[in-house]
Structure 1
Amino acid sequence: MSEQAPPSSSDGLGAREREGTIDLLGAIAYGAISGFTRMAADSEMARDLRLKRALAGMAAKEFHNHEDLSDHITALGGDPVAAMAPFEDAFEAFHARTRPRDLLEGLVKAYIGDGIANDFFLEISKYVDAESREVIQRASGNHRDVDTIVSAVREGIRQDPRRGGPLALWGRRLMGEALTQGQVVAAQREALSDLVLGLSHDRPGATLEEVGQLMQRLTDRHQLRMGRLGLSA
């Protein structure tokens, strides 16, 4: 007699909660595959071997995250491609408006943009089931190579101090564009909004006050990252 696997914590999800969870996982999965392609392209531009290796490592981690998230979407009964499709326009609009003009801007975007996304998804993961939360937390963990990226940006500014001001504006623009697109997605995906507000399950959701606090935490962490880069937030 074969031994049955223990029930998954996701097995008890209602239809609406499952829909919202798959929406969230689809958004993160699209962000991961998009991050993979852009960091791989940045790696091609890098001439310093240490920096090239760091960017390639970040790209590889993004692709691994994408596969992990896709597997969990499938386990929930979803189709990863269908789950990602609704978020393509928002992500591509963000990337179209924040296309780096050179490697230094690309490095700031890789560090700042990746950090904003990870912070946001970690915050939202509080409102999903335990198993999905674990998958999201793995995908949103810190990259081991970010210190190399930070050092390269600071060195670029040291070599040409005139870059500091424009890069600070660039970092602030990245934050603004990311928040704008996040609000667009939340407004368009009702099941995802219901998930966060606790309307699709029995666990407590976020109150309006808590949403405001969440946004403040995102801003605070962004300012810390800008400071690490030597840029004014």
Structure 2
Amino acid sequence: MVRWFWQRKKPSRTFTLRSRGDEGGATRVDFAELAPELDTFLGQAAYLQLGYFETLTRLIRATPELAEKEALSRAAGAALDKHRGIVAIIRERSGDPTDVMLPFREQLDAFRGKTIGVRPRETLLAVHLTSGMLDDFYCALASSYGDIGARVVAILGADVQRDEIVDIIQATISSDEEWRSLLSMWGRRLVGDTLLVARAALRESRPGEDDEQLEPVFAELMGAHARRMDAMGLAS
């Protein structure tokens, strides 16, 4: 059986993701040799947020309850704010946001398509879990870009209105225990594709070349994912 490098025994060296609003004190893996060009980083990050905005907007249309529509609209607005914040940085650098994002459209649209569930609740869980993992990853990667990276961290670390999404999912689980099993399985299925998106965000390298350096990063991303699942009462 093939074992991905993030499935191997966790190394003794630990990569710690920075907490929201924490400006220091975390142990970081040096991404300098793995980080892509700045425009690549910004284009990917900006398009991801635009995709989350689009997915949440579709969920609003599919949701009959007014209170849930309002909660989803706030989450969609937060994703749009993050997209606009990164786009503003691209424009400040005299770049065209469309040109900077376009190379990543096909890949990231394909990823988003894989996270669209058969049921709206599956899609909502996917937004919560994958955006959490990738925001964490991009915040870690941002340390390679100096002041601009720090600004991206501030944008991605802003209040993203995820608490209300968690409330909706928890209420769904409480209403019918079968949802717990279904959403737990769906949450576990999302991990592999999400980690592949993170890996693809880095510069190209030979297969296995950077595994040792990335292992603690991916192990910590999976740990944060497990904590999000646990917080909702889902098995990770």
* TM-score, normalised with respect to structure 2: 0.77
**Partner AA of 1:37 in structure 2:** E
Q: Which of 219, 224, 228 is the equivalent residue of 1:221?
A: 224
Contact 1:150 1:229 in 2 (8 A): yes
Quote the residue 1:199 is aligned against.
Answer: none
Counterpart for residue 55 of structure 1 = 72
Q: Map 1:81-230; keep pairs closer than 5 Å.
A: 81-130=98-147, 132-186=148-202, 189-190=203-204, 209-230=212-233
| Runs of 4 or more above 4 Å deviation | 207-210
Alpha-carbon shift at residue 139 of structure 1 (Å): 2.6
Provide the residue aligned with 1:43 in structure 2. Answer: 60
Contact 1:58 1:143 in 2 (8 A): no
Unaligned runs of 5+ in 1: 1-17, 194-206
- CA shift, 1:144, in A, is 4.8
Cα pair 2:79 2:160 within 8 Å, conserved: no
Contact 2:78 2:161 in 1 (8 A): no
Identical pairs, percent = 25
Confirm or deny that 1:71 pairs with 2:74.
no
| Separation in 1, partners of 2:201, 2:142 | 16
Change (3 A) 1:144 1:68: closer
Deviation of the 1:185 alpha carbon: 4.0
Q: Is the 8 A contact 1:90 1:184 kept in 2?
A: no
For this pair of structures, how many residues does the alignment match? 199
SS of the equivalent of 1:128 reads helix
Shift of 1:209: 4.3
- Determine if contact 2:78/2:160 at 8 Å carries over to the other structure: no
Secondary structure, aligned partner of 2:84: helix
Structure 2 residue runs of 5 or longer lacking an equivalent are 1-34
State the TM-score, normalized to the length of structure 1.
Answer: 0.78
Give deviations 1:85-105, integer Å, cap 9, x for gaps: 121122111122221222211
8 Å contact from structure 2 (residues 53, 76) kept in 1: yes
RMSD between superposed Cα atoms in Å: 2.2
CA shift at 1:134, angstroms? 2.7
For residues 110 and 92 of structure 2, what CA distance do their matches in structure 1 show? 30
Q: Please give the alpha-carbon distance, in whole angstroms, between the structure 2 residues aligned to 1:21 and 1:214.
A: 20
- Residue 232 of structure 1: aligned partner: 235
Cα 1:80–1:125 shift into 2, 3 Å: same
Distance change (3 Å), C-alpha of 1:27 and 1:43? same
